[in-house]
Amino acid sequence: MTIILGIESTAHTFGVGVVRNGKIIANKNKTYTTKAGGIIPMESAKHHCENKHEIYFEALDDAGIKEKDIDAIAFSQGPGLAPCLIEGMKFAKELVTKLKKPIVSVNHCIAHLEIGRLTKASDPVMLYVSGANTQIIAYESGKYRIFGETLDIGVGNFIDNFARYAGIGFPGGPTIEKLAKKGKNYIELPYKVKGMDIALSGILTNLKQKLEKIGKLNPAPPTQKLPAHLCSQIDKKQLMKNARNGIKSVNSSKKFRAKRGKNDREYTLSDLAYSMQETVFAMLVETAERALAHTGKKELLLGGGVACNSRLQEMCKIMCKERGAKLFVPEKQFLQDNGAMVAYTGEILFNNRDYIKSEDIDNVDIVPRQRTDQVEIKYK
């Protein structure tokens, strides 16, 4: 019997998971959030440092195990934000030194993929859509190959950035999904698929320009001085009201309606959220479908926080049905960043003797820019 403890800390979430013989027996996570603005790496690292012991002991409690029962400590080695990765590694090394157990280094993206085995997907193409990463991955000849990816920003960061510009805090994705459900008008946006890859920064600029037209620009709290080019366009009273009320004031208010063109319909932030989802998710589904066609695989697996989005899941389902493929969607707790996926992948590596003994932990380090296709897969 093997018991592996996994530590996740690559960005916003500090998580500890425990796996016993391929079964998740604990998955405790705490996520750094903001009311306005995005992730500040040092603040997120501080969040991890402050919460690590509580999360760790809660995970042990949930698993019903003692520290001495643990066979190895796995941690997310990369990719991720360096200050956050360091917190996770420091904690892993602290435990390794205390318990005299081996350490297992896990690639975060591959952990998102491997936890998909719980859905019984056997050889899928994975659409991996998270904050910093957007990749279409499939196994081929000893590595998880990237068949397509974003050429600039990850789709989660893209959505969060759009949300932030509309005055919504981090993570913006869930609020944008709610707004999109109220959207009625499709507003045309650029569609940027380049071969198997996608590009998002131009669409983001376009969305920001459209948001400016709506006049919904409150990236700063009321006390903060706004850049001069924004001040002229903003009703300051409304700005302060928005900052106090958050997004609630946006949808209903007639003030936030902008004309698209002389004879065009008006649109709201909800319309933009809806149009953004329809456009960008179609780009993701198109490239995922191309990877299915290219590899001849018959399974599509979703992973990453953006895969929690019900419209993206629905669009993937339709595509899979049309081409006779099967869609696999892990439980929400395993889609977003979590400690369980690190423990789960850690166990696979540990059983394959891919670990470092406690006396050699000085050889272990973080790899903030580690790519999925750099990692050799020796266990397949």
Any contact of residue 358 with Mg ion (CB under 5 A)?
A: no
- Number of neighbouring beta carbons within 10 Å of residue 379: 12
- Smallest distance from the beta carbon of 208 to ligand AMP, in angstroms? 17
Give the separation between CA 306 and CA 154, rounded to whole angstroms: 10
Bridge partners of 105? 75
Tell me how many residues contact ligand AMP (CB under 6 A). 18
Exposed e or buried b for every residue in 34-63, given b needs 16+ CB within 10 A? bebebbebeebbebbbebbeebbebbbebb
Distance CA 299, CA 119 (A): 11
Provide the minimum distance between the beta carbon of 32 and ligand AMP in the complex, in angstroms, as a whole number.
11
Binding to ligand AMP by CB under 6 A, coded x per residue (else -) over 166-185, reads: -----xxxx--x--------
**Minimum separation from the CB atom of position 100 to ligand AMP (A):** 32
- By CB under 6 A, tell whether 156 contacts ligand AMP: yes
Minimum CB distance to ligand AMP smaller for 217 or for 308: 308
Q: Whole-number minimum distance, CB 337 to Mg ion, in Å?
A: 4
Considering only residues 4-23, where is the footprint of ligand AMP by CB under 6 A? 11
Is 102 one of the binding residues for ligand AMP (CB under 6 A)? Answer: no
- What is the distance between the alpha carbons of residues 20 and 256, in angstroms, rounded to a whole number? 53
User: Contacts with ligand AMP in 285-314 (CB under 6 A)?
Assistant: 304-306, 308-309
The pattern of x and - marking residues 310 through 339 that bind ligand AMP according to CB under 6 A reads --------------------------xx--
Report the 10 Å Cβ neighbour count for 357: 12
Residue 193: strand, helix, or coil: strand
Is 160 a binding residue for Mg ion by CB under 5 A? The answer is no
CA separation, residue 196 to residues 110, 149, 203, 299 (Å): 20, 7, 17, 18
What are the phi and psi torsion angles at 344 (to 5°)? Answer: -65, -45
> Rounded to whole angstroms, how far apart are CA atoms 159 and 306?
9
Of residues 38 and 102, the one with the C-beta less far from ligand AMP: 38
- Which of 27, 119, 130, 370 touches ligand AMP by CB under 6 A? 130
DSSP H helix total and E strand total for the chain: 13, 14
174: partner contacted, choices Mg ion, ligand AMP, none (Cβ within 5-8 A by kind): ligand AMP
- Rounded to 5 degrees, φ, ψ at 142 are 85, 0
Span from 129-137, 224-232, 273-281, 291-299 in contact with Mg ion (CB under 5 A):
129-137
Report the amino acid identity of residue 40: I
Binding site for Mg ion (CB under 5 A): 130, 337
